[in-house]
Structure 1
Amino acid sequence: MSHTIQNELASLDLGNQIRKLRKKRGLTLQELSELTGLSKPNLSQIENNIVTPPVATLLKISSALGVQIGHFFQTTSLESNIVVVRREDRYGIARGPHISHIGYQYEPLAYPKVEKSMEPFIVRMEERDPDDMTFNNHRGEEFLFVLDGKLEFICGETTVTLKQGDSLYFDSGIPHGYRGIDGPATSLVVIYKPS
């Protein structure tokens, strides 16, 4: 991938995008907090790019602001029945120091198409202790297919260990979390969020 494309795609500036959209909608941080159920300090950190929002958090913010989550990943406006994203054009969210608070990096796989019912991602989960797992929930359903490594999935009272080739489908409204075991794990994750 050329540095120009990589820099353009990597510099999504999610925080600034969220702030601009919030102000365009005439919402205060407090009002966005009430709409999303997220704390004001957390939203402030996200808007100031101090932390990168996990996918579930970004879903809550996008719903409250009346846009699809894909709105935040678009680099150009492209609406088509067929969208191809070449391997060299993929990019990661939550690279570097920001990953530590959520424990994974995610790459949107269909970002040129904004209006869609499913959001596919490649998710790289860090190896971490069970006590350090981050739990999220959002309306909808989720499908996960392990491409590489081994991971632990916890959803409510259920704990499942998954390895390469295993898959999982679940109600994402229940708080859930993942962690790599014996090293990082890579998965294909598809999120369905009802309108």
Structure 2
Amino acid sequence: MTDIKAQIKEFRIGEKIRAQRQLRRLTLQELSDLTGLSKPLLSQIENEQVVPPLATLLKISRGLKVDIHFFFEDETNRQKLVVTRGEELRPDLQRQAVNAAVRPYTYHSLAQGMRHKNMEPFLVEVENTTWDDKLFFRHDGEEEFLYVADGAINFHYGSEVYHLKAGDSAYYDSSQPHGLVAVGETKARIVAVLYSKG
């Protein structure tokens, strides 16, 4: 976990959240009211004592009225192209379900540094774990696409379950409850793209 914390600091997410909150003249309590997240948790995130999972970042981005990819942008980067080499991938974020003991997904950003984008692509490593409804996520204003590169997953969307294997994909409105787990002998790897409708 320490390595991931060190790597996440390179994004300066806590600093970006604080700057946006202050720019919008919001107190921590007001941001807490907007996001449904506790004031102590927001303070810990701003001070980079806690690594926020992706679902938490989505809530904060909505509260601050910025797109999720804002947290992965490098303000000094003027590139119009980002090439990500496989050997350069690193775990950027882990998504943990509320009250879940495990962190079922590890995200690797595939467009780190690119500014002003509507899509945020990730390579996601999905752990083989037993499905629990606590693994459901939902977030308004986003569409998602996923492509199974290796292994197999059970993709839960509302009350439906879809078994997807390497080569299969799904495009969906992420305002509906959704989640996934790897099934089989090994963890799965998927490419996931989040699209913000703005």
TM-score by length of 2: 0.78
Q: CA deviation at 1:13?
A: 4.5
Q: Deviations over 1:80-116 (max 9, x none)?
A: 4433233344332236x9x965421101111221211
Write the letter of the residue equivalent to 2:25.
G
Gap regions ≥5 residues in structure 1: 1-6
Q: 2:192 aligns with which of 172, 182, 189?
A: 189
- Over 6 Å off, 4+ runs: 7-10
Q: Which runs of 5+ in 2 are unaligned?
A: 1-5
5 Å-filtered alignment, 1:1-195, equals: 11-40=10-39, 42-49=41-48, 51-75=50-74, 77-94=76-93, 101-131=102-132, 133-138=134-139, 139-182=141-184, 183-195=186-198
Q: Deviations over 1:154-194 (max 9, x none)?
A: 12111112111111111101121111123311100011111
* 8 Å Cα contact 1:128/1:179 also seen in 2: yes
Measured in 2, the distance between the counterparts of 1:166 and 1:41 equals 41
**Cα RMSD (Å):** 2.9
Q: 1:160 to 1:136 in 2, by over 3 A?
A: same
Which amino acid in the other structure matches residue 146 of structure 2? L
The residue number in structure 1 matching 2:3 is: none
